[in-house]
């Protein structure tokens, strides 16, 4: 996963190394599972020494926890940026939600292996990083909640909306639909998938306008 670093010298190099480790870990764990993946394999895939892994992360579990935090952080930032850009262009809250759906699809299309891991980990209850995962998940959902609450306050959206559940449903819709798209309907374009989800958002599933 890419993220630019503006820090100088050693900090920039360390960030670049951590990026390599994230990429290696997410690919290997997606291929063969967390338990079957070793630190040696992660180091080899990243092109670094095994000691470099432990220099940056105390253990494989810590590496994976930080990977989840990093990935969901990127998703959260992309959702927030989409909402802020729409607001800056004078769009409404439904427009912002639609832009966030597209941003989510773009993210998942760019990081499919991470998305698969993230969705799988959401359903596990015996992981050391479960509490961290719940925190970062809520950060992503909270961005959507904020737009929904503003829409209700502005009168653009119904006061009957259950904001927390609706936000979670929208995030879940994008995650599941995108994974289904990539796994079973890869011939469809991102624009096509976005258009279908946009119609769901705007309540036009049955053709009502």
Does residue 82 share a domain with residue 39? Answer: no
Helix, strand counts (H, E) of the chain: 9, 0
Last residue of a domain, one of 18, 35, 57: 57
Does residue 112 share a domain with residue 20? Answer: no
Q: Distance (Å, rounded) from C-alpha 127 to C-alpha 41?
A: 21
Does residue 114 share a domain with residue 53? Answer: no
Asked if the structure places residue 209 within a domain, the reply is no
Q: Distance (Å, rounded) from C-alpha 150 to C-alpha 163?
A: 10
pLDDT of residue 209: 44
Domain span holding position 194: 66-201
Does residue 176 share a domain with residue 74? Answer: yes
pLDDT of residue 204: 55
Burial class (CB in 10 A: 0-12, 13-18, 19+), 149: middle
Does residue 51 share a domain with residue 128? Answer: no
- Residues 37 and 60: beta-carbon distance below 8 Å: yes
Does residue 188 share a domain with residue 147? Answer: yes
pLDDT in tens, 30-48: 888 899 999 999 999 999 9
Residue 7 has pLDDT above 90, yes or no: no
Does residue 108 share a domain with residue 190? Answer: yes
pLDDT in tens, 86-106: 999 999 999 999 999 999 999
Q: Distance (Å, rounded) from C-alpha 95 to C-alpha 143?
A: 14
């Amino acid at each position: 996963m890419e993220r630019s670093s503006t820090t100088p010298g050693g900090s920039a190099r360390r960030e670049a190394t951590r990026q390599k480790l994230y990429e290696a870990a997410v690919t290997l764990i997606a291929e063969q599972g967390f338990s079957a993946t070793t630190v040696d394999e992660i180091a080899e895939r990243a092109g670094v020494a095994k000691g470099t892994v432990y220099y940056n992360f105390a253990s494989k579990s810590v590496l994976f926890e930080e990977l989840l935090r990093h990935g969901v952080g990127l998703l959260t930032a992309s959702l927030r940026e989409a909402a802020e850009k729409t607001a800056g262009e004078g769009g409404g809250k439904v427009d912002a939600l639609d832009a966030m759906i597209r941003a989510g699809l773009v993210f998942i299309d760019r990081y499919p292996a991470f998305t698969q891991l993230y969705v799988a980990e959401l359903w596990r209850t015996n992981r050391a990083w479960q509490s961290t995962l719940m925190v970062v998940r809520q950060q992503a959902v909270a961005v959507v909640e904020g737009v929904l609450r503003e829409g209700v306050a502005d009168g653009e959206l119904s006061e009957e909306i259950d904001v927390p559940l609706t936000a979670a449903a929208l995030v879940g819709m994008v995650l599941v639909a995108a994974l289904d798209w990539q796994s079973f309907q890869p011939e469809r374009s991102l624009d096509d998938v976005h258009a279908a989800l946009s119609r769901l958002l705007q309540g036009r599933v049955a053709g009502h306008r």
